[in-house]
Amino acid sequence: MDERTKLTLRTNLARDRAENLLARLRETFEQTQAEIAAGQRPDLSPEQIALGEEALRRAIASAERMVANLNEALAMAEAGLVEVEEEEEGEMGE
């Protein structure tokens, strides 16, 4: 397998993992919002709720940027805009 193919496969795997993380973060945010709206989290102060919401929003935004950047990298690779140097055997944990 050539280096470009290996890089593309690794990038696709990273993107898939990032998309999975993003989906889990969004699900957690929605579930938490529903619990708070239903009054199921009386153990949390308004400040704690606000901090938790902000932390999840930031994590979601970061994961969205990660997915977008990986998609852009894949598009560049497919368009042949990325040069790939040959690796010596044993690099990158292979």
pLDDT at position 1 is 82
Tell me which amino acid residue 3 is: E
Q: What is the pLDDT of residue 48?
A: 96
Contact between residue 84 and residue 7 where contact means Cβ atoms under 8 Å apart: yes
pLDDT at 39: 92
pTM for the structure as a whole: 0.78
pLDDT (mean) for 78-94: 63
Q: Residue 7 pLDDT more than 90?
A: no
Helix 46-78 × helix 3-37 angle, to 10°: 160
Domain ranges of the chain: 3-82
pLDDT in tens, 22-81: 999 999 999 999 999 999 989 999 999 999 999 999 999 999 999 999 999 999 888 877
